[in-house]
Amino acid sequence: MSQKVSEFFGCMVFNDDVMRERLPKEVYKSLTKTIATGRTIDASVADVVANAMKDWAIEKGATHYTHWFQPLTGVTAEKHDSFIAPVGNCKVVMEFSGKELIKGESDASSFPSGGIRATFEARGYTAWDPASYAFVKDGSLYIPTAFCSYTGEALDTKTPLLRSMDAVSAQGLRVLRYFGDTSSKRLHTTVGAEQEYFIIDKEMYDLRKDLRYAGRTLFGAPAPKGQELEDHYFGPLKSRISAFMAELDEELWRLGINSKTKHNEAAPAQHELAPIYSNTNIAVDQNLLIMEYMKRIAEKHGLVCLLHEKPYAGVNGSGKHNNWSITTDGGKNLMDPGKTPAENVKFLLVLAAVLKAVDDYQDLLRISVAHAGNDHRLGGNEAPPAIVSVFLGEELDEIIRSIVDGTAYKAAGAGILDLGIPSIPTFRKDTTDRNRTSPLAFTGNKFEFRMLGSSQNIAMPNIVLNTAVAESFRQFADILDDAEDLEVAVAKILKDTFSAHMRIIFDGNGYSEEWEKEAKKRGLLNLRSSVDAYERFDDEKNIKLFATHGVMSRTEIESRKEILLENYAKIINIEALTMIEMASRDIIPAVNSYLGEVASTAAAKRSVLSGVSCAVEEDILMKLSDLNTKAYDALGKLKKAEAKAAKTAGVMARAEAYRDLVLPAMEKLRKLVDEMETMTSSEYWPLPTYGDMMFKV
């Protein structure tokens, strides 16, 4: 790195500094107001901003601009237009209008819409999100946008996210007013998403059709070594990995992404990157860019980055920890317990709001992380279980217990306020032991939602967190609006809420069988598969939640449910077809060739020396040939299951068929093939092994 980081950090971003420098004072003021309040921008202001953006982008080497959006495919989309405008005489000028900045039209007929956008109305439009900075990448000016149908329904993840941020802000402010906060104008939810990933050598990757088509290995016997020695976690970085990470950081820093932490993770060849947290919409955009750059920079180093939740069986998969909190525009974190009794009470109310939200909308939180890939992790003794619960730590547990029981909280320095609300002026941060099995853990001044899959867009989990907490705030504020005595009302809210939602608190081992039983007793949901989860998306209570806060309409929810189910079926279908191709064309023929060699060895031995022992050859022939026959049979069954599932009518029934017929058939085939791998000569085995993939980076 020839340049200092501080000199090039954010150099490709049209950020606040650039705006201040390049925009006329009035325009700058108007734009920052738009950003701070979430209002729409004036057309005249937009023209000036667009022009300044264009001039800046051209200096950075851009010739094109693109509205950058997040359709429901889970990845980002972009369509590039150049700035050129002909002016006659074979000449062009570079132009970019406010209209082009604010709104783009897009033939969106190939994006999933779950039936919202009839094909005769194939157009959709993209609308600028001024709160997420534009940036230059690969010769284009990227403008973060929301993506809607012509009838105004959201066709993306960004629109409901922005709406959910508005909702939690509006309802949260109503509550804060009762605590004397008259100055905050906006609440922001903040997110820091820790991203896990695997790295594999490109040469190995190219030899694995399963990785190329499905992103995960569909076959593969375990390597002699896995993660049992725990020597990879936080271990020294290999030089190739280190070079990749250094370049990744540098590119991310140019884009103004605060990539902060990097380290080796638990599984061999698994790593993590964590940025410094930012406002949620920006964190979502940045996480998508981080994933994109991980893949792109890896390629430059002859590597491939695997973002799948479970690339390899038998070792940990990858997730994403979504650290989340709520902050005022003045920078006050509402999840910070605070130093005075009044601040403590406010904190406890926020805590109550979160507990209530998580308990009332366990299903939505589970849905927000449901994904075919993530099904291999949740409940698999490596990630949180599929049961949603909250970890608070001993101290907060005791405080809550004392509120519920109406007893004094007996910790050093703690007193008791009027009305039985304990004051906790010495609340110590980070005294909590870190419970890695908890789906949602309070970690001192934020909640860490740990159920997310590594490949997923983090928008949906945050949409649910924001909206569900907005609903708690709404209910609290309604009570306070009608209260005669504020303190009495607050005390009652705390007591009632904690009493009603104690069941969602769990500090023990989330992997244990006892917890499953206990959770069942408590009436908590245990939605094992994505399909179980999706089914509940459009329950009336969920439709009501999103409608109340203007986050998603019934149509938007129903369409999303359909897309999720369809997507699930498509993913398993691709996996099944990949397995079928690999087994039919690569694996079974390879085993046959090897069997042929073993048979001819035995025949050759016998032709030289009658009575020679061919016990080894015979044993291999018997066992391997038997396995190959069984594998062939399992392959036939998988083909049938796939054909049946593909023909099943109705998205729900189809997704269920893939889960109940195809997945088990895949499992059976894999088991046989993996066993054959352990008996077939390496020379004949057509695929890189687990050992090759995980230990040869």
Q: Is 354 in the site for ligand ADP (CB under 6 A)?
A: no
Segment near ligand ADP (CB under 6 A), from 48-56, 269-277, 309-317, 400-408? 269-277
Judged by CB under 6 A, does residue 245 bind ligand ADP? no
User: DSSP assignment of 569-614, as one string?
Assistant: HHHHHHHHHHHHHIIIIIIHHHHHHHHHHHHHHHHHHHHHSTT---
Among 153, 156, 166, 194, binds Mg ion (CB under 5 A): 194
For strands 415-416 and 390-391, give the pairing: unpaired
Closest contact distance (angstroms) between CB of 323 and Mg ion is 9
Task: Please tell me the distance from the alpha carbon of residue 618 to that of residue 607, in angstroms, as a whole number.
Answer: 16
Q: Whole-angstrom Cα distance, residue 461 to residue 177?
A: 27
Closer to ligand ADP by Cβ: residue 259 or 567: 259
445 binds, among ligand ADP, Mg ion, none (CB under 5 to 8 A by kind): ligand ADP
By CB under 5 A, the residues from 268 to 307 that bind Mg ion are: none
Is 535 a binding residue for Mg ion by CB under 5 A? The answer is: no
| Least Cβ distance, residue 277 to ligand ADP (angstroms) | 3
Q: Is 325 in the site for ligand ADP (CB under 6 A)?
A: yes
Helical residues (DSSP H) of 385-485, grouped into ranges = 394-405, 459-481
Positions 411 through 470 that interact with ligand ADP (CB under 6 A): 445-446
| β-strand partners of 452 | 320
φ/ψ region of 74 (left if φ > 0, alpha if ψ in -120 to 50, else beta) reads left
Q: State the nearest-atom distance from the C-beta of 194 to ligand ADP, in Å.
A: 5
Give the nearer residue to Mg ion in terms of CB position, either 443 or 467: 443
- Nearest residue to Mg ion, by Cβ distance, number only: 194
- Interatomic CA distance for residues 429 and 445, integer angstroms: 8
Q: Give the one residue of 153, 156, 194, 532 binding ligand ADP; rule: CB under 6 A.
A: 194
Kindly tell me which residue out of 41, 143, 218, 274 binds ligand ADP, with binding defined by CB under 6 A: 274
Minimum distance of ligand ADP from residue 283's CB (angstroms): 8
CB of 210 to ligand ADP, least distance (A): 30
For Mg ion, which is the closer residue by CB, 443 or 689? 443
Pick between residue 367 and residue 458 the one whose CB is nearest to ligand ADP.
458
d(CA 616, CA 613): 8
> Is 264 a residue that touches ligand ADP (CB under 6 A)?
no
Q: Say which entry of ligand ADP, Mg ion, none residue 446 contacts (CB below 5 to 8 A, set by partner kind).
A: ligand ADP
188, 162 Cβ separation under 8 angstroms: no
Residue 348's binding partner out of ligand ADP, Mg ion, none, with CB under 5 to 8 Å set by partner kind? none
CA pair distance 508, 438, nearest whole angstrom: 8
Distance CA 338, CA 225 (A): 47
For tokens 């150099």, the residue is 11
Which does residue 192 touch among ligand ADP, Mg ion, none (CB within 5 to 8 A, set by kind)? ligand ADP
**What residue has token string 């209008």?**
97
- DSSP strands (E only) in 403-526: 415-416, 422-423, 440-442, 447-453
364 contacts 358 by C-beta, under 8 angstroms = no
* Closer of 194 and 363 to Mg ion (Cβ): 194
Closest approach of ligand ADP to the CB of residue 460, in Å: 17
Distances (CA, A) of 103 to 41, 48, 100, 150: 12, 15, 6, 12
Alpha-helical runs (H) found in 119-199: 158-177
- 277 makes contact, choosing from ligand ADP, Mg ion, none, with CB < 5 to 8 Å by partner type, with ligand ADP
133 to 192, contacts with ligand ADP by CB under 6 A? Answer: 190-192
Query: At 254, phi and psi to the nearest 5?
Result: -55, -35
Q: Label each residue of 19-56 as H, E or C.
A: HHHHCCHHHHHHHHHHHHHCCCCCHHHHHHHHHHHHHH
Q: Which residues contact 396 (CB under 8 A, 6 or more apart)?
A: 351, 432, 442
Nearest distance in Å: CB 261, Mg ion: 7
Shortest distance, position 274 Cβ to Mg ion, whole Å: 5
Give the span between the Cα atoms of 277 and 1, in whole angstroms: 25
265 touching Mg ion, by CB under 5 A: no
* Residue of minimal Cβ distance to ligand ADP: 192
Distance CA 111, CA 615 (A): 60
Q: How far apart are CA 305 and CA 241, in angstroms?
A: 11
- Quick one: 194 or 556, whose CB is closer to Mg ion? 194
User: Residue 259, interface with ligand ADP (CB under 6 A)?
Assistant: no
Q: How far is the CB of 447 from Mg ion (least distance, A)?
A: 15
Helix (H) / strand (E) containing 653:
helix 651-657
Instruction: Determine the interface stretch with ligand ADP among 156-164, 273-281, 399-407, 631-639 (rule: CB under 6 A).
Output: 273-281
Applying CB under 5 A, the residues found at the interface with Mg ion are: 194
Applying CB under 6 A, the residues found at the interface with ligand ADP are: 190-192, 194, 261, 274-277, 321, 323-325, 333, 445-446
